[in-house]
Structure 1
Amino acid sequence: MSSEPSLEKAATSSIRTALGLGGVLSVILGILILVWPGKTAMVVTAIIAIYAIIAGLVYAALGIFSSSKGGWARIGHILLGVLFIIAGVVAFTNLGATTAWLAAFLGILVGIMWIIEGVVALSTLGDAPSKGWTVFFAIISIIAGITLLFSPLWGAVVLWWLLGISAIVLGIIQIFRAFSFGK
């Protein structure tokens, strides 16, 4: 019976520590994004490239060493592995260009999603409890999406800055939660 309070105290302490560390890491990431946006984006791109190379090696190994898979499945795994490895190596050969390409790609992707979100909001107008807000949201979403499509790099920069600001704000909130958790 005496071990239950100490176990609960240890669990609370662990959760507080995890919340605090998560908050501090979030604040650090947000600051890095705001202070060195280009360098931080390049680091993220490098991490993605490393992931691609590792995933490629795993897929290739699955294709080469898996005796339970059929011939076409093994060939498919090997080809997929080679493609992942090539993508990772190409990304590393010009990290700056790859970062810009990823930013443009994400800007276009978010732009398309916002346009679709606006159209879907308009399509549900008949069921919307507040038609005015639904139309307002749809118009803003469509305009924002079109803006991103016409200038995806600018849009990606704005989204990157918003991510940095959000990371700082949420990190600070997380740190406060760590201090108040369990009290």
Structure 2
Amino acid sequence: MINQEVRPALPPEAVNAVRSGMLFTAVLGVVLGVLIMVWPGVTAFVAGLLFGIALVVAGLFRLFFSFASVGLTFGLRMLMLVLGILMVFCGAIAIISPADAWWMLAIFIGIGWIFGGFQDIFGARADVSIAPRWLVIVGGVISVLAGIVMLIFSPGTTVPAIMWLLGLLLVVVSIVTLVSLPKKVPTS
């Protein structure tokens, strides 16, 4: 086997920034998911607002990654750009009207998880130096499955049921994100 040097998908200075952002959103996702499952009636408005904020932040990181990454194909770069814009847009809708946007938010989150999962699955080769390839692919598969479950169960269910399911899936996806965090790059 030929030993090839792997080129990082992000400049070394950006990896730690992306890692910090992913860590923050994943921890926020776990906390929010648990709160939603424990107090579904009490947390509806606050959870909708926090979901909106989390989507905006995650969308901004996708946008940043689409511009800052090196060595990606035009198609992958555009996929990240479109996904980032969609996540920022959906987050803004949720922030404006968190109590009324639950069903729509559940659908958008499901679609976002599916697109993000496919991006992780097919873009895994770009992240080889950031996290183990197999872990990024497993995380992508879990994200796609969580998105499909969200789309199947969210349209006809009640708000508490959507919230509980969303909370559970958010915890799962956030834990996968925590496990697949990029390796910390020493700064010089």
TM-score, scaled to structure 1 = 0.38
> Highest CA radius of gyration, 1 or 2?
1
TM superposition score normalised by structure 2: 0.37
The structure whose residues are more often helix, as a share, is 1
